[in-house]
């Protein structure tokens, strides 16, 4: 199914533009995508995604809402990106548009435009996006291609070396270079605003070898107070695996939204591609059994309008009973 091209519209004659999507492809409620142009820019009140991409002085903003005071927000933002650490910033994640929390600026991707046509860019430094104790890593030297129907009218990130990709998903127990030729960051469709790629699972269960399901830390979890008197207030994690990874290679289709890590529609590791391409999945033996001792086998199912595809999502893993202390994550 084709995705209608979105448009950037100017906010109240300021230098901030916000993305307007067709009704059938609304963004998540707590995600807004903007484009900030230079103070002296004289541009049309509406910009196509191609016009924005070809404007070298702009910064793409991924925000957790719409700023209430646009002028104050722009002034504060310009003060931030004027710092040397933000030189050549092309993509910026704003974790709090109210600017009341510290820090209110999240990750950034710095890039330079490459010579020639079409306009491509190259990342200048490695950027690590934290998902608690997991990470999404975009390495230096990755090529960034601009909007097309193939990348949801967003951006395509191509590793510097396809044989040893420097775009990676990092778990507490392993590092997974992307198995797809690239990662995309779409502006339209769902989930817009999340990095998308494919991961290959090539570690089935074997003696003295952790399976990928173990390396990803998937399963059901329970939490109980730590009984060790030397750790007052600590929480013990009891993890129970659910699925036994099949012996055949298996792919997971990933969406990672840095602003919405605990929203399953935005951030997940799915058994199914968002493109809808058919996937032949095996039946998987579970760690459950019937009361008569038979194995319980499960097969991931494609979703519908009422239910999502079978997928793993992040859930919080508290370390302490104090809810104010940040948790780690696991996949369930």
pLDDT (tens digit per residue) in 255-282: 999 999 999 999 999 999 987 776 789 9
Specify if 283 maps to a domain: yes
pLDDT of residue 190: 73
Specify if 2 maps to a domain: no
pTM: 0.94
| Torsion angles phi and psi, residue 187, rounded to 5 | -100, -15
Rounded (5°) CA angle 56-145-28:
90
The residue ranking higher by pLDDT, 190 or 1, is 190
Q: Would you give the distance in Å from CA 64 to the centre of its chain? A: 14
Q: What percent of the chain has pLDDT over 90?
A: 88
Specify if 157 maps to a domain: yes
Instruction: State the pLDDT confidence band at 23, using cuts at 50, 70 and 90.
Output: low
Rounded Cα gap, residues 225 and 41, in angstroms = 58
| Six-digit token string for 253 | 């289709």
Instruction: State the pLDDT confidence band at 28, using cuts at 50, 70 and 90.
Output: low
Q: What confidence tens digit (pLDDT) does each residue in 52-91 have?
A: 999 999 999 999 999 999 999 999 999 999 999 999 999 9
Number of domains in the chain: 1
pLDDT of residue 285: 96
Residue 30 pLDDT > 90, yes or no? no
**Mean pLDDT to the nearest integer, 244-262:** 95
The residue ranking higher by pLDDT, 116 or 215, is 215
Q: Which domain holds residue 116?
A: 7-331
pLDDT of residue 26: 47
pLDDT of residue 40: 96
Specify if 158 maps to a domain: yes
Specify if 1 maps to a domain: no
Residue 29 pLDDT > 80, yes or no? no
């Amino acid at each position: 199914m084709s995705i209608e091209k979105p448009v950037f519209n100017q906010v109240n004659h300021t230098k901030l533009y916000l993305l307007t999507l067709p009704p059938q492809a609304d963004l998540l409620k707590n995600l807004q995508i903007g484009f900030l142009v230079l103070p002296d820019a004289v541009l049309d009140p509406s910009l196509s995604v191609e016009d924005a991409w070809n404007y070298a002085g702009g910064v793409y903003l991924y925000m957790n809402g719409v700023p209430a005071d646009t002028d104050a927000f722009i002034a504060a933002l310009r003060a931030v990106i004027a710092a040397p650490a933000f030189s050549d910033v092309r993509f910026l994640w704003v974790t709090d548009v109210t600017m009341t929390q510290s820090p209110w600026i999240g990750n950034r991707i710095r890039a330079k435009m490459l010579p020639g046509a079409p306009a491509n860019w190259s990342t200048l430094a490695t950027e690590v996006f934290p998902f608690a104790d997991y990470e999404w890593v975009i390495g230096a030297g990755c090529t960034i291609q601009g909007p097309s129907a193939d990348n949801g009218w967003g951006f395509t990130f191509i590793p510097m070396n396809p044989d040893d990709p420097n775009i990676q998903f990092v778990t507490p127990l392993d590092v997974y270079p992307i198995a797809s030729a690239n990662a995309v960051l779409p502006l339209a469709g769902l989930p817009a605003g999340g990095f998308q790629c494919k991961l290959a699972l090539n570690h089935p269960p074997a003696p003295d070898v952790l399976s990928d399901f173990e390396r990803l830390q998937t399963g059901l979890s329970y939490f109980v107070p730590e009984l060790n008197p030397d750790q007052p207030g600590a929480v013990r994690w009891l993890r129970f695996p659910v699925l036994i990874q099949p012996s055949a290679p298996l792919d997971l289709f990933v969406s990672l939204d840095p602003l919405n890590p605990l929203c399953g529609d935005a951030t997940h590791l799915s058994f199914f591609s968002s493109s809808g391409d058919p996937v032949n999945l095996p039946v998987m033996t579970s760690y459950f059994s019937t009361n008569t001792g038979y194995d319980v086998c499960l097969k991931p199912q494609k979703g519908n309008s009422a239910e999502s595809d079978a997928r793993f999502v992040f859930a919080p893993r508290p370390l302490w009973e104090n809810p104010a202390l940040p948790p780690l994550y696991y996949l369930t």
